[in-house]
Structures are given as structure tokens and as C-alpha cells.
Structure 1
Amino acid sequence: MPDLTPATLSTGRLLLRWMTEDDIAGHYAVFSDPVVTRYWSGEPWTDIEQARQAIAATMAAYADGSGLRLAIVLRDSAELIGNVTLHHFFEQNRRCEIGYALASKHSGQGHATEALRAVIQYGFDTLDLNRIEADIDPRNAASARVLEKLGFRKEGYMPERWIVSGEFADTVNYGLLRRYWEA
């Protein structure tokens, strides 16, 4: 597992920073929205305790090096609008998975691309990763556009991998190698 130290990444419009207990309400607002969780691997949250538990798990992941979840915050207003996560680190192979969620009222404005670009650069430069993987529901065209814009390549298709909102959901696997990123 990598040695994770608190980091704040800055982009033109965003700050990406370690999450704290102060983010419980904002985190809940994102994941209680059925539009956000439509293609997520779980149901929308219905109790703020779910956000509290997720933040506690995030802090434990920081401590043991198993995951890095950064809050996506608007620079101008300090509003938490989502998060991006690097997790499932395989140190020997210098790879991990990436996940992200953005409040529905902020989608379609380039925030996800901007946030992921910063985190990917951090992953390759600071964490010395060679490969970052993502899996998405193939119906999530917006997420596919974000990944492909950033240089991820489709690598596989897994039918009925998840059950989301009571229905089977397929997965498309994407991969981004450091050499793709640097090209």
C-alpha cells in the first residue's frame, strides 16, 4: 500500500482535499441523490449515518494506505460537489482503481474531467502508479466520455456484474497506463 499523506490538489475551479467529519452533510447530499447513484453499485443513501460511516471508512483507509478519497470542492464557494477515489492499490504492480461521483446539479460542466485529471496526475507523479483502472455501467455515457477524454481505453465487458436498484447491471472495464497519459 502506498504511504498516503494529506494532500490538497488545486485546479482552475476546484480544490481536491482529504475528507473529514466536517464533510458528512455534503457527502450525504451527493450520495442520497438517485440521479448520482443510478449507475453506482448501491442504492441512494437514506440516512445521514451512512455518510458518517463512509467518512469513518475513508479515514481508516487513509490510515492503512488502502484508499484515498478526495472531496471535490468548488474554489469559489467551498461547496463539496463530489469525490474522487483511488483504491484497491496493488503496490507490487503499481496499479489501483479510480472511482468518482459528482452532484447531479454540477454534472455536464467539466468538473469531473478537471478533478480526475488532477488526481490521475497525482497518482502517476506522487504515488508512482503505472496503471489506473475504472469500471462503469455501459449505460453511463457521460462517465465513458470523461474516461475516454482522459485517455482511458476500453479493455473488457462483464455482463451482469452488479445488481443495482434490483436489476442486473453490466460493467465496462477501462485502463489508463502512464505511457498513454504521457503521450
Structure 2
Amino acid sequence: MPNLTPTVLSTARLRLRWMIEADAPAHFAVFSDPEVTRFWSSGPWTDMQQAVDAIGRELAAYRDGSAVRFAVELADQPGLIGTVSLHRFVDQSRRCEIGYAFGREHWNKGYAAEAAKAVLDYGFRVLDLNRVEADIDPRNLASARVLERLGFRKEGFLPERWIVQGEPADTLYYGLLRRYWDALPFVGS
């Protein structure tokens, strides 16, 4: 597991920082929205304690190096609008998974790709990852566009991998190698 230290990442429009307990109400607002969690591997949150518990797990994950979830804020306006995480680290293979979610009012503005780009660069440059994977529902076309814009390649399809709210859901698997990342024209910009 990587040795994680408190990190702040900045982009032209966003600030990404480690989660804090005070993020619970905004975190709950994102993950309690059925539209946001429509293609997630679990249903929407129904109780604020779920957000409090999730942040507690994130704080523990920072300490033990098992995951890092960044709270995403607008650069000129504090307050969580979404999250991007690197998790399920496999040290020997220098790989992990990426995940992201944003409040619905922040969709279709390019924030997910902008934030994920910063987190991927951090993963490849600072954490020395060789590979990042993503598992999405194939019906989530917006997420597929984000991943493909960032250089991820489709690598596999797993039918009915999840049961979400009683409904079977497929997985479309994506992968991004560091060498693919390094060859992208926007890397370093």
C-alpha cells in the first residue's frame, strides 16, 4: 500500500483535497441522489450516518494507505461537489482502481474529467502506479466518455457482475497503463 501524505491538487477550475468530517452533509447529498447512484454498485444512501461512516473509512484508509478519496471543490467556492478516489491498490503490480461521482448539478461541465486527470497524474507521478482500472455499468455512457477522453481502453465485459437494488448489472472494464498516459497529448499540460 502506498505511503499517503495529505495532498491538495489544483486544476484551472477545481481544488481536490482530502476528505474531512465536515464534508458529511455534502457527501450525503451526492450519494443520496438516486440519479447519481443509478449505475453505482449499491443503492443511494438513506441516512446521514452513512456519509459520516464513509468519511471515517476514508480517514482510516489515508492512514493505512489502502485508498485515497479526494473531495472535489470549485476553485473559487469551498464545498464538496463530488469525489474522485484511487482504491484497491495492488502493490506488487503497482495498480489500483479509480472511481468518481459528482452532484447532479455539476454534471456536463467537464469536472469529472478535469478532476480525474489530476488524480491520475498524481497516481502515475507521485504513487508510481503502472496501471489504473475502472469498472462501470455499460449503460453509463457519460462515465464511458470520461474514461475514453482520459485514454482508458475497453478491456472486457462481465455480464451480471453486480446485483444493484435487486437488478442484475453488467460491468464494462477499462484500463489505463502509464505508458498510454505518458503518450497522451494533454499530459503535462
Shorter chain as normaliser: what TM range? over 0.9
Which ranges in structure 1 are unaligned for 5 or more consecutive residues?
Answer: none
Give the counterpart letter for 2:144 in structure 1. Answer: A
Which residue is 1:148 aligned to? 148
For 2:103 and 2:159, the matched residues in 1 are separated by 27
**Is 2:126 the partner of 1:126?**
yes
Which residue is 1:6 aligned to? 6
Paired residues, number? 183
Which residue is 2:177 aligned to? 177
Give 1:92-131 correspondences, 5 Å limit: 92-131=92-131
Following superposition, the deviation at residue 106 of structure 1 comes to 0.4
Which residue is 2:69 aligned to? 69
Give 1:84-99 correspondences, 5 Å limit: 84-99=84-99
**1:46-94, Cα deviation, whole Å (9 max, x unpaired):** 1100000000000110111000000011112112111001001011111
**1:131-168, Cα deviation, whole Å (9 max, x unpaired):** 00000000000000000000000000000011112200
Give the counterpart letter for 2:6 in structure 1. Answer: P
Over aligned residue pairs, what C-alpha RMSD do you find? 0.5
Which residue is 1:53 aligned to? 53
Taking structure 2 as the reference length, the TM-score comes to 0.96
Give the counterpart letter for 2:111 in structure 1. Answer: H
Runs of 4+ displaced beyond 4 Å: none
Identity %: 65
For 1:78 and 1:63, the matched residues in 2 are separated by 24
For 1:146 and 1:159, the matched residues in 2 are separated by 22
For 1:156 and 1:119, the matched residues in 2 are separated by 23
For 2:78 and 2:122, the matched residues in 1 are separated by 21
**1:10-30, Cα deviation, whole Å (9 max, x unpaired):** 001100000010101110010
Which ranges in structure 2 are unaligned for 5 or more consecutive residues?
Answer: 184-189
Which residue is 1:138 aligned to? 138
